[in-house]
Amino acid sequence: MVAPLSRAALRDILAFYREAGVDDALDDEAPDRRLSAAKLREAAARKPEPVAAPVVPAPEPEPPPSSLERALFDAVPDRPAATVAVPDEGQVRLARELAAEARTLEELRERMAAFEGCNLRYTAKQLVFCDGNPQADLMLVGEAPGRDEDIEGRPFVGRSGQLLDRMLAAIGRDRRSAYIANVIPWRPPGNRTPTPQETEICRPFIERQIELVGPKVLVTLGGPSSKTLLNATEGVLRLRGTWRQHATADGRAIPAMPTLHPAYLLRNPAHKKLAWRDFLEVKARLRALG
Ligand code: URA
């Protein structure tokens, strides 16, 4: 039987959740997202041999638990100790192998849905793989799904997506003539910025997705997507509007236009004219490519 918590303890827990970025309760029952013992064994078997570990000083002794920690501990029923998958080099390698072996977009989607090596999948509601037409000659890639995308399972369906639809319409396109995806296919909790490790783990999947779609022109939306896919280091305000190339693993160079992210444009509407120019460039390039 779980002991009831005091009002003060409940207030502390809610404050903690708020700081940790928990902004919605999706289910009445908390799902157990921890790995099963079998999955843990599988993950351990995939790990590379440990390299000589640096000498780490002995940890400070743990301070005694605070009254809040004791209350939280008492409130949690006994369960076996659990571990979640932590991004590491082994997972990046595994993601590369899985992505490279996917022969079709559907196979890639299945492999990504089954991939357990990225922490974000444990807090996201579902995989957000793509929207639009895989036969399209134009592909757009954003950063990561937000709350609306996490709920619907499709990229760019919230306010940013509505603006993106208007940007596409301005060059005579819609989701039947464009393909849309994200570098990160799982919503980061509280919409936080994905870590560099999370990006490296997800990179092989989006690179393979681009390779399988094979668009004539790629548009990278915002700084993170542009830097990740165009091997660039400049800020997006410098990068945008300049033609780049996205190099695929099978040796193709896809013309790529970095531009401003719709979420940024919602906050900085005066910059919409810059994105407008970029989209006109894209339209002209697609026309020239036939
Ligand atoms: N922002 C993104 O980068 N991608 C989405 O799918 C939604 C918002």
**Measuring CA to CA, which residue among 181, 188, 83 is closest to residue 131?**
181
**Cα-to-centroid distance, 163 and ligand 1 (Å):** 11
Output 98 or 40, whichever has higher pLDDT.
Answer: 98
**9: confidence class by pLDDT, cuts 50, 70, 90:** low
Q: Answer whether residue 75 is part of any domain.
A: no
Using CA atoms, how far residue 12 sits from 4, 18, 20, 63, 67, in Å, is: 14, 10, 12, 19, 11
Does ligand 1 have an atom closer than 6 angstroms to the CB of 144?
Answer: yes
Does ligand 1 have an atom closer than 6 angstroms to the CB of 143?
Answer: yes
Residue of 126, 131, 140, 143 to test ligand 1 pocket, by largest number of atoms within 8 Å of CB:
143
**Cα-to-centroid distance, 290 and ligand 1 (Å):** 29
**The pLDDT value given to residue 76:** 38
The enclosing domain of 90 has a CATH number of: 3.40.470.10
pLDDT averaged over every residue in the chain = 83
**Does residue 284 surpass a pLDDT of 80?**
yes
Among the ranges given (39-43, 73-77, 177-181, 194-198), the one the predictor scored with the smallest mean pLDDT: 73-77
DSSP 196-243: HHHHHHHHHHHHHHHHHH--SEEEEESHHHHHHHHT--S-HHHHTTS-
Residue of 139, 150, 152, 156 to test ligand 1 pocket, by largest number of atoms within 8 Å of CB:
156
Q: Answer whether residue 232 is part of any domain.
A: yes
**Measuring CA to CA, which residue among 204, 139, 162, 171 is closest to residue 284?**
171
**Does residue 44 surpass a pLDDT of 90?**
no
Mean pLDDT of 21-29: 50
**Does residue 71 surpass a pLDDT of 50?**
no
Mean pLDDT of 3-21: 51
Q: Answer whether residue 254 is part of any domain.
A: yes
The pTM for the full model equals 0.72
The pair of three-digit structure tokens given for residue 262, joined into one six-digit string: 């719709």
Q: Answer whether residue 165 is part of any domain.
A: yes
**Does residue 22 surpass a pLDDT of 70?**
no
**Does residue 67 surpass a pLDDT of 50?**
no
**38: confidence class by pLDDT, cuts 50, 70, 90:** low
**The pLDDT value given to residue 39:** 55
Domain count, the chain: 1
Does ligand 1 have an atom closer than 6 angstroms to the CB of 150?
Answer: no
Output 51 or 129, whichever has higher pLDDT.
Answer: 129
Q: Answer whether residue 55 is part of any domain.
A: no
Range of the domain at 111: 81-289
**Does residue 34 surpass a pLDDT of 60?**
no
Mean pLDDT of 10-20: 47
Q: Answer whether residue 4 is part of any domain.
A: no
Among the ranges given (64-73, 96-105, 116-125, 244-253), the one the predictor scored with the smallest mean pLDDT: 64-73
**Cα-to-centroid distance, 72 and ligand 1 (Å):** 35
Output 68 or 227, whichever has higher pLDDT.
Answer: 227
Q: Answer whether residue 42 is part of any domain.
A: no
